[in-house]
Amino acid sequence: YLGTVAARLRKDAVTSKMDQRSIDRILQEFPGSDETQQLQKALLDYLEENAETDPSLVFSRKFYIAQWFRDATTEAEKSMRNQNPKDEDSSDGPQHAKEMETTGEIMQRAEKRKKFLRNIIKTTPSHFTTLKLNSDTVDYDDSCLIVRYLASMRPFAQSF
Per-residue pLDDT of 48-102, as tens digits, reads 999 989 999 999 999 999 999 999 999 889 888 887 665 555 555 566 556 666 8
Residue 114 has pLDDT above 80, yes or no: yes
Torsion over CA: 28, 137, 131, 120 (sign):
negative
So what's the pLDDT on residue 153? 83
So what's the pLDDT on residue 160? 53
Tell me how crowded residue 76 is: count the other CB atoms within 10 A of its CB.
19
**Rounded to whole angstroms, how far apart are CA atoms 116 and 107?**
14
For residue 130, name the pLDDT band (cuts at 50, 70, 90).
very low
Of 160, 59, 36, give the one whose Cα is nearest residue 109. 36
Q: Is residue 103 a contact partner of residue 79, using CB atoms and an 8 Å limit?
A: yes
Q: What is the mean pLDDT of residues 122-138?
A: 61
**Rounded to whole angstroms, how far apart are CA atoms 107 and 150?**
20
